[in-house]
Chains A and B, each alone.
Chain A
Amino acid sequence: MDFVISDEQQQLRDSLQKYITKEYGFEARKAIIASKQGFSDKVWAQFAEMGILGVAFDEAHGGFGGTSVDTMLVMNELGRGIVVEPYFSTVVLGGSLIDLAGSEAQKQAVLSEVAQGKLLLAAALGEPNSRYELNCVETTAKRDGAGYVLDGHKAVVLHGESADKLVVSARTAGGARDAKGISLFLVDKKSAGVAVQGYRTIDGMRAAEIKFAKVKVGADAVLGEVDAALPVLERASDFAVTALCAEAVGAMEALNAATFEYLKTRQQFGRPIGSFQALQHRAVDMMIHCEQSRSLALLASIKVQSEDPNERKRTVSAAKIHIGRSGRVIGEEAIQLHGGMGVSNELAAGHYAKRLAMINATLGDVEHHAERFASAA
């Protein structure tokens, strides 16, 4: 039992934290969100230079051979800064899908480009009718000579508009909800027949509806085994959920710190409002929510690598359940304790609350994971 991170991990965290504190303040973030593409090339290039874009990939694929804990440390810092760059979609979810499913050649071609900041990915998994069910795939991929033709509609694809390549789940066999018959494809977004409708998300990021109409891809576009992608999707999704949990804990920390600071400085009735016990106890409960969430996020960051799929699913879902609930509580309480300022878009607090609420709506909410937790017993 050892909760201590290595010196290298400490260094990685410190340098990222320093950079975000210095260069990614509230005003800088606001300008980035308002820009046309919704994130900063400059920040992205800096991330590449710091090595965080390849932190989890093998050295053979241009990465740094880090562990899942390294990814979680990065996500924790990105959460503290509510960073909107497409790290989650490109490196965490897109990257791990390729890492888990891709051939050696695909990994070398794609992951090294990602690590250098030259290539952006997006995972096109969800559909209008799928909610959070990875097995619910109506998009089809039909054999066409040596390759395939894709047709369908992928919903709320995070950073789908800016991505260069899309990892798409499509049905090569079976019915819309069958576990078998799902395959993964790596599709160039510029391919003929790909229509992208990009939009903002309420938490300051970007997403897109992506429609595929008779999109032709070659046999080399297939990632992994045909008809058997679901276990890989689940593993990658568990890794991504764990990363979201780490991000959420970072956001909770920062939001709690801002709220407690406000309680100490805001004066009413001639005294700081933090001197009122009614508010003190609510603040303590926010802190407890954060610490309990942190415990499960840490546990998930280790157990996500478990060889036992039930242990992996249970731990990751437990963390997501807790973070979903605690993120909501902390977000709502932070807004309430900030009073009128809490509902102003000019204060960071509300933006943390937005991100925390949207993390709950990404890759499975509390109810989804509660059901999964029970079924993995």
Chain B
Amino acid sequence: MDLNYTKEEQAFREEVRSFVSENLPKDISDKVLHHKRLVKDDWVRWQKILYKKGWVAPNWPKEYGGCAWSPIQQHIFDEECGYLGAPRVMPFGLVMVAPVIQNFGSKWQKEYYLPRILSSEDWWAQGYSEPGSGSDLASVKTKAQFVKSAQGDHYIVDGQKTWTTLGQYANMIFCLVRTDTTVKKQEGISFLLIDMTSPGVTVRPIITLDEEHEVNEVFFDNVKVPAENMVGEAGKGWTYAKFLLGHERTGIARVGESKRELEQLKAIATKQLRNGKPLMEDPRFRDRVTDVEVELMALEITLLRVLSSRTKPGPEASILKIKGTDIQQALTELTMEAVGPYALPFRPEARAGDWKGEPVGPAYAGSAAAVYFNYRKTSIYGGSNEIQRNIISQMVLGL
């Protein structure tokens, strides 16, 4: 047993660190580090830089243009990128739909979509949640009716998806749709790739507590989708969806980002005063920071344990989701508390990257409360933390 990184792993970390430091545009990392608003171009620019370097798809096999990195290397890469303030690579195409296409897609789907995902030509959205199916995903109602036609077999899609993250930027969406209403609910689901520029697709913003536009409702009204856009077999969508979720769990720990936020919190709490002394030296506040830091140290090792195990991450990876989001939320909470009454001023215009105004209070205080409220999402999305507990309870503890 040796819990130190190997020489090769350390060298890899150095390589990643120097590449990201040298190539991550400063205007983008400034936005990330100061919690400014990111726009489509910020993500696309960064992803194209990684694409050029050959690092945009660490999780993909080599044959499709991936890096074929070990899980530990992927973790090092994620950690460095997160720590240095790179925007998170948009997971919907690269991390979520791509492995599904690679494993279950047709030859045409692989040849057409994978290169476009790799080069960020397409921006994908995730069409899972519906107004009536959040945690109970298998209850999807959006209907896809098969139509045989001389002009080309196709599906007619009707229904609504919701909580579609950055759907306003997307031109493609992968959807769970119901193709058969006569069988058990899990068996009637199919996995469909839909062009969002098709007639009948409408995107409507949902404004979140920080008054930002991050999520959307997507409406499908008599939308025609070519049959070749069905992934794998009709009725197998639930299997593919579960396969996809397995790919999502380990990245969700967000160790690098949390380390960065912890450092920022300490820096803020060192500048803020309580009773004339740095807040960070106040034992009450300091102990709360310590608790989060200790959990984060533990989480990093828990993550590495999961990544190092010779088997694929199983249901115990749900721990990473629960603990990772607990920590992220605790950090936003402490940061908001650290700035004291300057948590109150709310000026969304100041979150624009090019805003030149005079901040109210310290610059770091401006977004603290907004981020705190934004991060309430983390324990809800990606399978709520209660659902994660159900998974562990049933699949690991056997209760």
Binding site for B on A (CB under 8 A): 1-6, 9, 69, 260, 263-264, 274-275, 277, 279-281, 283-285, 287-288, 291-293, 295-296, 298-299, 301-303, 315, 318, 321-322, 325, 367, 370-371, 373-374
Contacts and interface: CB of A to CB of B under 8 A. Distances in A.
Contacts of A275: 399
Contact of A3 (B294, B298, B305, B396): B305
Given A295-B299, A298-B3, A373-B290, 7 more contacts: A1-B9, A275-B399, A277-B390, A284-B397, A287-B392, A288-B319, A321-B294
A302 B4 contact: yes
Nearest to A322: B294
A295 B1 contact: no
A281 B389 contact: yes
B297 A296 contact: yes
Interface residues of B, number: 39
Contacts, number: 117
A274 B295 CA distance: 27
A275 B393 CA distance: 10
Contacts of B319: 287-288, 291-292
11 contacts: A3-B304, A275-B399, A283-B399, A284-B397, A285-B389, A296-B298, A299-B3, A302-B4, A321-B294, A325-B291, A373-B290
The 4 closest A-B pairs by CB, nearest first: A295-B301, A280-B393, A292-B298, A274-B399
B308 A370 contact: no
B397 A283 contact: yes
Given A288-B322, A291-B319, A321-B290, A3 B3 contact: yes
Interface in B17-45: none
A281 B304 contact: no
A128 to B, nearest CB: 25
A288 B386 contact: no
Interface string B292-328: 0111011111101100110000001001001100000
A1 B3 contact: yes
A296 B301 contact: yes
Given A292-B298, A318-B297, A260 B4 contact: no
Contacts of B309: 3
Nearest to B4: A302
A295 B392 contact: no
Contacts of B397: 260, 280, 283-284, 287
A296 B294 contact: yes
Contacts of B316: 291
B311 to A, nearest CB: 13
Interface of B: 1-6, 9, 72, 283, 286-287, 290-291, 293-295, 297-302, 304-305, 308-309, 316, 319, 322-323, 386, 389-390, 392-393, 396-399
Given A280-B389, A292-B302, A1 B294 contact: no
Contact of A280 (B1, B295, B304, B399): B399
A296 to B, nearest CB: 5
Contacts of A5: 1
A338 to B, nearest CB: 15
Nearest to B266: A377
B399 A264 contact: yes
Contacts of A371: 283
B10 to A, nearest CB: 11
Given A1-B304, A284-B392, A373-B294, A292 B323 contact: yes
A374 B399 contact: no
B16 to A, nearest CB: 16
Contacts of B291: 321, 325, 370
Contacts of B297: 296, 299, 315, 318
Given A295-B298, A295-B301, A296-B298, A2 B1 contact: yes
